[in-house]
């Protein structure tokens, strides 16, 4: 352990730790003051308890915050972290990008933006550079509108210790069809990762943003606390994809909120494969008339993994539509929790909202809980929800085995067919191929 790492461990998650991080980055006073305000918020908020509805099925007792290094430091292992991406189907070397930001441990190891796209007024860079070079934009949107620092205990901790991430800004009327890619790659163990994605689309803008989180499995506990803020102005269109493949030593907390203005469209996909523990809070605020939020999710837990997804479809204006479909598979002694809320505010007439959660249990010791919810404050709406939890039918396996297909391959085909309706809604062949490969690995093929 280096002297800097020893100092961090002694500081821990404290006010002195916040100040040490800010000094390491040589931040201006305004950023240091914002971090310290967030720390004060963190100290004022209670730790979530099992008596809180959102945390009723979530056990945090094994999370040892006092044993974790509060933030990563540049360690010269950026190339090692980058090599973790080599051979990943989701990072094809031949894929065309509008821009790429790679956070390797504590460093922005790679930042690229197509010059022709930059000439249209698009900003895409790592968040620390954005805070320096675009301070007005940063201060206007960073943890102010979608996920403020007082959103919750872990969000306040994120606001105090954020490090890394990316900012995408697309000005009015600009459409970019190629994907912007943001990668958070961790090669070490024990250091906390606080990555942040901020996407701002002005009126009539269009973009495609892909977040990827990746690390090898290690022996020591690691914390990841991510925040994603998606701001869509009038008639803006965003396709957002998130692929989480952290190592099995990672405790992952992720909060995402999207804000949609009139006629805005969000198409989102969340893929949860890695980590030991994942607590994902995903919400869309439909604040504009005729806005549309499509929210898709795929998760596959095995071993002793625990995945907890909470979703919010918040209809605050009339004539808005939301369509949510989350599908999960479990094997081993894994456990999943899904809880979703469709909330229609008073006056949000003509709301059209749909919520579906399907779970496939592949072993006797796995468990899935599903809790769909409706809260309706208007009288002229169409809102439906549904949830299922089922096992693979032996008859289905026998049918395939009787046709010469081995049992493991038969199970893979059934699981792939279970996920296929969601995969087919992803109009990106590269991501479809990645998911098919990941599902095969999870099943054991």
Phi-psi region of 333 (alpha: psi -120 to 50; beta: other; left: phi over 0): alpha
Query: Cβ of 346: how many Cβ atoms within 10 Å?
Result: 10
pLDDT at 92: 46
Name the burial class of residue 53, with classes exposed (0-12), middle (13-18) and buried (19+) by CB atoms within 10 angstroms of its CB: exposed
Residue 382 lies in a domain: yes
Report, as ranges of residue numbers, the positions in the chain whose pLDDT lies below 50: 1, 3, 6-10, 87, 89-94
How many domains would you assign to the chain?
Answer: 2
Residues 370, 433, single domain; the answer is no
Residues 316, 297, single domain; the answer is yes
pLDDT at 3: 46
Residues 381, 415, single domain; the answer is no
Can you tell me whether residue 245 is helix, strand or coil? strand
Residues 437, 355, single domain; the answer is no
Residues 376, 433, single domain; the answer is no
Residues 323, 409, single domain; the answer is no
β-pairing verdict for 123-126 and 165-170: antiparallel
In degrees and rounded to multiples of 5, residue 124 shows phi and psi of: -150, 110
pLDDT at 141: 96
Structure tokens at 251: 């405790």
Helix (H) or strand (E) holding 438: helix 429-443
Residue 57 lies in a domain: no
pLDDT at 188: 64
Residues 404, 312, single domain; the answer is no
Rounded to whole angstroms, the Cα distance separating 234 from 47 reads 37
| Helix, strand counts (H, E) of the chain | 11, 19
pLDDT at 82: 59
Residue 444 lies in a domain: yes
DSSP 13: S
pTM as predicted: 0.93
pLDDT at 90: 46
Q: Which residues are CB-contacts of 232 (< 8 A; sequence separation ≥ 6)?
A: 201, 238, 258, 259, 260, 261, 264, 265, 266, 291
Residues 160, 256, single domain; the answer is yes
Quick one: which of 260, 309, 307, 264 has its CA closest to 287? 260
pLDDT at 80: 58
pLDDT in tens, 68-95: 888 776 655 555 555 666 545 344 444 6
Is 297:291 a contact under the CB 8 Å cutoff?
no
Burial 205-239 (b: 16+ CB within 10 A, else e): bbbbbbbbbbbbebeebbbbbbbbbbbbbbbbbbb
**Residue 401, strand partner residues:** none
β-pairing verdict for 99-104 and 107-113: antiparallel
Quick one: which of 265, 269, 266, 274 has its CA closest to 244? 274
Burial 267-305 (b: 16+ CB within 10 A, else e): bbbbbbbbbbbbbbbbbbbbbbebbbbbbbbbbbbbeeb
Q: What torsion do the CA atoms of 72, 74, 75, 81 make, to the nearest 10 degrees?
A: 80
Residue 64 lies in a domain: no
Domain extent for 427: 395-445
Residue 30 lies in a domain: no
pLDDT at 11: 65
């Amino acid at each position: 352990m280096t002297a800097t790492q020893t100092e961090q461990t002694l500081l821990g998650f404290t006010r002195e730790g916040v100040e040490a991080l800010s000094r390491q980055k040589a931040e201006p006073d305004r950023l240091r003051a914002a971090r310290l305000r967030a720390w004060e918020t963190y100290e004022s908020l209670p730790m979530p308890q099992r008596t809180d509805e959102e945390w009723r099925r979530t056990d945090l007792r094994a999370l040892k915050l006092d044993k974790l290094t509060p933030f990563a430091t540049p360690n010269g292992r950026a190339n090692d972290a980058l090599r973790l991406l080599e051979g990943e189907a989701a990072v094809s070397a031949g894929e065309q990008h509008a821009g790429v930001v790679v956070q390797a441990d504590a460093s922005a190891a790679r930042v690229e933006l197509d010059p022709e796209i930059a000439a249209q007024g698009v900003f895409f860079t790592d968040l620390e550079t954005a805070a320096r070079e675009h301070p007005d934009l940063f201060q206007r949107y960073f943890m102010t509108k979608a996920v403020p620092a007082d959103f919750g205990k872990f969000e306040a901790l994120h606001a105090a210790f954020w490090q890394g991430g990316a900012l995408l800004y697309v000005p009015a009327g600009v459409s970019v069809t190629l994907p912007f890619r943001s990668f958070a790659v961790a090669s070490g163990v024990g250091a906390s990762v606080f990555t942040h994605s901020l996407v701002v689309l002005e009126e009539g803008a269009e973009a495609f943003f892909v977040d990827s989180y990746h690390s090898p499995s290690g022996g020591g506990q690691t914390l990841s606390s991510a925040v994603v803020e998606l701001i869509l102005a009038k008639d803006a269109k965003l396709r957002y994809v998130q692929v989480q493949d952290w190592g099995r030593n990672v405790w992952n907390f992720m909060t995402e909120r999207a804000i949609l203005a009139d006629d805005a469209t969000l198409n989102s996909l969340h893929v949860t494969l890695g980590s030991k523990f994942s607590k994902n809070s995903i919400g869309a605020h439909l604040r504009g008339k005729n806005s549309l939020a499509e929210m898709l999710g795929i998760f596959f837990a095995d071993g002793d993994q625990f995945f907890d997804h909470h979703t919010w479809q918040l209809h605050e204006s009339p004539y808005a539509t939301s369509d949510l479909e989350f599908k999960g598979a479990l094997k081993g002694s894994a456990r999943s929790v899904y809880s979703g809320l469709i909330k229609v505010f008073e006056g949000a007439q003509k709301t059209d909202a749909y919520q579906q959660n399907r779970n496939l249990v592949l072993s006797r010791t796995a468990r899935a809980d599903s809790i769909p919810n409706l809260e309706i404050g208007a009288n002229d709406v169409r809102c439906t929800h549904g949830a299922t939890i089922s096992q693979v039918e032996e008859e289905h396996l026998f049918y395939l085995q009787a046709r010469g297909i081995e049992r493991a391959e038969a199970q893979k085909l059934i699981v792939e067919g279970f996920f296929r309706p969601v995969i087919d809604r992803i109009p990106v062949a590269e991501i479809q191929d990645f998911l098919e490969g990941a599902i095969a690995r999870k099943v054991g093929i």
